[in-house]
């Protein structure tokens, strides 16, 4: 059949040709649109990639460590510890980690948790306690656990220092039931404990913190007014001397806040200079509400407290933070707790303190307020009485492990491009990057501790000045704690031409040090 000879077929054929050409044109137009869309997509993808690459570029910051600009000498770091969970040695693994891994050298040791273990009515006409009564108390189960815990610390070459906290018997207090008025009775009770520990238990110690938070009073400790602080201390020292404890020195006053007036009575009386190792205070916070603005760079009451001592006849005494931490008890913001506690540690070291002790070693029952508390660096499993370190433990380790007793804090200063910049406070390299630097007395070792809140990675360059023993072959170790890292060893950093460079991640606590974590 010849289609061309059929008009209907020819018309149909022509229609098919038209339809096919029309579809082809539509397809070609669609392909063009697809190519244009693809090209636009590629351009947008490239722009996104370029912008992302720019955003991921680390912020560059440069600082200089000046080892010749020396501030305070470090006495050490540690924890507050109670012996109630000793239970025939349950605390040994905890103590082992605190000393051997965390690097604690200072232990503030509270035997009882309250300041009422002796009954004042048992004192005889001379104001002393019968020997049989003292033996009954000091060989009882509570003090037995205390002596064994203390003895185990001694076996690890640690000399804890005794501390007394909590309520006092009504017989020693004024009308309000909490203000200490019977200094002799309080000192007698305290010194019998020291005597027993030294003479009967043969424990090794040389420091004593006889008061706790006298500015708060009940239930933290006896209340004590500044005008009576010197008298209370002198009675304590006299009792210690009568008991043959002339070598034991004091840590005063372990108040909840930096009360300069509390110091003045002692600071104006030079007779106690040789009996006072340190003056101390505490710092806490419930979150970060108190630490706004330029809190970290500004001058705090704690700096005033340290300056007051350093400008007094007691300038050779140290300034210790015998309790620091955070007050959160939810357990829901563990890294937040670790972060805030470490930030306070950084701050009081920057303010001139020589030591810091975390509150506290492990979760436990607070005797003075009869509540189970979770402030500890270790979580306590109350069924198995086993212990596991929390993130706050590893945050503390960033400092405790690598800043040794005897290290000196030195200057670490930002290098600014424009000192006349009116916005230099905001543009300061250390605005959101907090750094501390320490060196050994022989200048052979250094440790830099840092915290970064910058919402990006930071390429930190550190110029090292005043450390003549350093070479390009000196190993520098990099450790980091973050929400998902626990004092993790990162790639070692190389010194090149007396400068080191490191990539610091956001929201991290980090350490650069010549000391290996071994």
Q: What is the CATH number of the domain that holds 246?
A: 3.20.20.80
Give the residue from 345, 365, 400 where a domain finishes.
400
User: What is the structure's pLDDT at 28?
Assistant: 55
- Tens digit of pLDDT for each residue in 292-338? 666 777 889 999 999 999 999 999 999 999 999 999 999 999 999 99
In a domain, residue 224? The reply is yes
Partnered with residue 319 across adjacent β-strands are 279
Q: Do 196 and 185 meet the contact criterion of CB atoms below 8 Å apart?
A: no
Give me the torsion for CA of 452, 455, 456, 460, rounded to 10°: -30
Residues 476 and 354 reside in one and the same domain = no
The contacts of residue 94 (CB under 8 Å, 6+ apart) are: 361, 362, 378, 387
Residues 221 and 104 reside in one and the same domain = yes
Map residue 396 onto helix, strand or coil: helix
Two structure tokens written together for 407: 């290290």
Partnered with residue 450 across adjacent β-strands are 435, 510
Neighbours of 412 (CB within 10 A): 22
Residues 293 and 193 reside in one and the same domain = yes
Number of domains in the chain: 3
In a domain, residue 34? The reply is yes
Residues 198 and 216 reside in one and the same domain = yes
Residues 107 and 188 reside in one and the same domain = yes
Residues 416 and 394 reside in one and the same domain = no
Reply yes or no on whether the pLDDT at 265 is more than 50. yes
The confidence band for 14, taking pLDDT boundaries of 50, 70 and 90, is very low
Residues 336 and 429 reside in one and the same domain = no
Two structure tokens written together for 245: 């404890």
In a domain, residue 518? The reply is no
Give the residue from 349, 368, 400 where a domain finishes.
400
User: What is the structure's pLDDT at 18?
Assistant: 39
Reply yes or no on whether the pLDDT at 429 is more than 70. yes
The confidence band for 33, taking pLDDT boundaries of 50, 70 and 90, is low
Residues 29 and 89 reside in one and the same domain = no
CATH number at residue 434: 2.60.40.1180
Map residue 403 onto helix, strand or coil: coil
Separation of CA 445 from chain center: 22
Residues 92 and 25 reside in one and the same domain = no
Residue 486 lies in domain:
58-69+407-513
In a domain, residue 369? The reply is yes
Residues 481 and 418 reside in one and the same domain = yes
Residues 287 and 419 reside in one and the same domain = no
In a domain, residue 64? The reply is yes
In a domain, residue 184? The reply is yes
Report the C-alpha gap between 490 and 504 in whole angstroms. 11
Closest by Cα among 104, 494, 80 to 322: 80
User: What is the structure's pLDDT at 470?
Assistant: 93
Two structure tokens written together for 301: 């009451």
Give the residue from 400, 432, 462 where a domain finishes.
400
């Amino acid at each position: 059949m010849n289609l061309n000879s059929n008009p209907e077929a020819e018309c149909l054929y022509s229609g098919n040709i038209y339809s096919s050409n029309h579809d082809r044109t539509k397809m070609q137009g669609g392909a063009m649109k697809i190519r244009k869309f693809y090209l636009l997509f590629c351009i947008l993808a490239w722009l996104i990639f370029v912008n992302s690459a720019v955003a991921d570029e680390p912020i560059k910051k440069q600082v200089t460590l000046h080892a010749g600009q020396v501030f305070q000498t470090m006495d050490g770091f540690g924890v507050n510890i109670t012996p109630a969970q000793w239970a025939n040695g349950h605390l040994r693994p905890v103590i082992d980690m605190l000393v051997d891994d965390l690097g604690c050298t200072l232990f503030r040791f509270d035997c009882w948790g309250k300041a009422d273990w002796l009954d004042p009515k048992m004192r005889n006409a001379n104001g002393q306690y019968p020997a049989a009564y003292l033996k009954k108390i000091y060989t009882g189960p509570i003090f037995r656990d205390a002596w064994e815990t203390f003895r185990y610390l001694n076996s690890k070459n640690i000399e804890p220092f005794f501390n007394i906290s909590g309520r006092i018997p009504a017989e020693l207090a004024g009308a309000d039931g909490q203000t200490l008025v019977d200094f002799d009775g309080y000192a007698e009770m305290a010194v019998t404990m020291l005597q027993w520990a030294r003479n009967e238990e043969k424990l090794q110690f040389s420091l004593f913190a006889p008061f706790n938070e006298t500015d708060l009073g009940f239930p933290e400790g006896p209340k004590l007014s500044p005008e009576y602080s010197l008298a209370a201390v002198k009675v304590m020292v006299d009792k210690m001397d009568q008991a043959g404890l002339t070598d034991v020195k004091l840590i005063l006053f372990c108040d909840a806040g930096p009360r300069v007036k509390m110091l003045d009575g002692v600071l104006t009386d030079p007779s106690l200079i040789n009996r006072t190792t340190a003056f101390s205070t505490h710092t806490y916070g419930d979150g970060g509400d108190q630490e706004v603005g330029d809190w970290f760079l500004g001058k705090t009451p704690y700096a005033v407290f340290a300056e007051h001592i350093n400008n007094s006849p007691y300038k050779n005494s140290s300034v210790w933070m015998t309790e620091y931490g955070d007050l959160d008890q939810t357990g829901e913001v563990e890294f937040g707790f670790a972060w805030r506690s470490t930030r306070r540690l950084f701050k009081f070291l920057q303010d001139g303190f020589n030591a810091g002790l975390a509150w506290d070693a492990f979760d436990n029952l607070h005797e003075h307020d009869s509540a189970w508390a979770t402030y500890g660096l270790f979580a306590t499993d109350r069924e198995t009485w086993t212990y596991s370190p929390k993130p706050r433990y590893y945050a503390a380790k960033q400092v405790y492990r690598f800043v040794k007793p005897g290290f000196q804090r030195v200057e670490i200063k930002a290098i600014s491009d424009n000192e006349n910049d009116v916005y230099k406070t905001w543009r300061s390299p250390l605005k959101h990057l907090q750094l501390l630097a320490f060196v050994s007395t022989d200048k052979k070792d250094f440790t830099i501790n840092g915290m970064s809140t910058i919402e990006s990675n930071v390429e930190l360059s550190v110029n090292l000045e005043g450390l003549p023993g350093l070479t390009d072959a000196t190993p520098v170790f990099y450790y980091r704690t973050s929400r998902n890292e626990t004092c993790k060893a990162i790639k070692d950093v190389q010194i090149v031409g007396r400068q080191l460079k490191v990539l610091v991640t956001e929201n991290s606590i980090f350490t650069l040090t010549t000391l290996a974590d071994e």
